[in-house]
Amino acid sequence: MPGLFDRLQNQIEDKRREGGITALDLADLPPALRKIMRLMLRQLQMNYPQLCEAMDGMPENERLSRADLDRSLDTLTQQAWLTRLGEGAKAVYKVNLKAKSGSTLASGIWSALDDKLKK
């Protein structure tokens, strides 16, 4: 029988899958996952060979091994930070960003300006 914390954790995971992530969430990631997400946020979409090439271009002390890269990509996909299309070397990864809510301030400003211009 699932407890309260299990249900809350499931709700958090469901929301993350539905809504994606924000850039502020990056601070909570472990360094290896953060490194990949920073790469991905520059491109928004990369295939596996591009990710490997970008990782090989990093300074040696910052590089991830292929095994660490693969594990990190799996983790980011499972946690809905990335979406994966395809498998293996043909996989394409995309950043799963949250949709931005619209501002109600802008419509009020434009209405006020329209009223002033009509007078």
Domain with 52, as residue range(s), is 4-118
CATH number, domain of 39, equals: 1.10.10.10
The pTM (predicted TM-score) of the whole model is: 0.64
Q: What is the pLDDT of residue 23?
A: 62
In the chain, how many domains are there? 1
The one-letter code for the residue type at 46 is M
Q: What is the pLDDT of residue 21?
A: 61
CA distances from 47 to 10, 87, 93, 100, 118 (A): 30, 10, 6, 26, 53
Q: Which residue has the higher pLDDT, 119 or 63?
A: 63
pLDDT band (50, 70, 90) for residue 100: very low
Q: Which residue has the higher pLDDT, 42 or 4?
A: 42
Asked whether 68 and 76 are in contact (CB, 8 A), the reply is no
Q: What is the pLDDT of residue 112?
A: 72
Residue linked to tokens 């997400």:
37
